[in-house]
Amino acid sequence: MPDKWTDGDAYEMYVGRWSRQTGKKFLSWLDAPRGLRWLDLGCGTGALTSQILRDCDPHSVVGVEPSEGFLTLARESISDERAKFLPGSGEKVPVNDGMVDFAVSGLVLNFIPEKEKAMAELVRSVDEGGTVAAYVWDYSGHVQFMRYFWDAAIALDPAASEKDEGVRFPICRPAALADLFSGAGLRDVATAPIDIVTPFADFDDYWTPFLSGIAPAPGYCASLDDGERQRLKRRLIETLPTDPDGMILLAARAWAVRGTR
């Protein structure tokens, strides 16, 4: 990874760029009226917040994020006066009761240890009749840029399966998401798949984000010694579907869920 990359830069290269595509389709599925008040829990570098500002013409958006590095990048990249970014987490969302009309969370719900508590905070944040919604990667299925990595890693090191998000995050399935939202007292709960393409210009475009140490798969890659990392790299070069020009064309799926307070 380049020496000057920040955590926010690394996240952007690893999943932030794909989160923007997924977020756009997620917001289209929500089909929210304009002029509403939004909360984006786990806003990261601001991928979903910026999409809300572009597509939904909101009255306001509050982005909440525990990482100062991510908050800094979000504040630097989004100058729209309707958006503000606050430190916080799923355990404590820094907004008053009923302050927003839509409370959303993109690609982070599985990383929150106390999911029921986070859901209670999201439900508390929305006004009566408001919507709580989220989307997460389909780690155990159709997120090919991660699946190729973990399949190669596990083939070389079976113990790596303990770090595989597909094993660690059973919440990232439609039935589990629906149960979580229904259990939080939300009504009219619905789920839907969100599919995108994730093209990589060449192998370096695919491989470099895994060197950052940010997120589980890059963290595993960074933990390897040089020899182990080179073996993993060679395995991926052998197994990734690459066209004659060197492009790697993959696809990814996220699961979306929503419910009404």
Give residue for tokens 């052998």: 238
Q: What's the sign of the alpha-carbon dihedral 162, 222, 212, 114?
A: positive
Average pLDDT over residues 103-111: 94
* pLDDT value of residue 140: 82
180-202 pLDDT, tens per residue?
A: 999 999 999 999 999 999 999 99
Q: pTM value?
A: 0.86
For residue 103, give the H/E element and its range.
strand 100-106
Range 209-218 average pLDDT: 88
pLDDT at 61 over 90: yes
Amino acid 71 reads L
- Quote the CA–CA distance of 211 and 202 in Å, as a whole number: 16
pLDDT surpassing 80 at residue 7: no
- Angle at 103 (CA atoms; ends 126, 197), nearest 5 degrees: 160
Q: In the chain, what's the furthest Cα-to-Cα distance?
A: 56
Contact 215/167 with Cβ under 8 angstroms? no
Residue type, 143: V
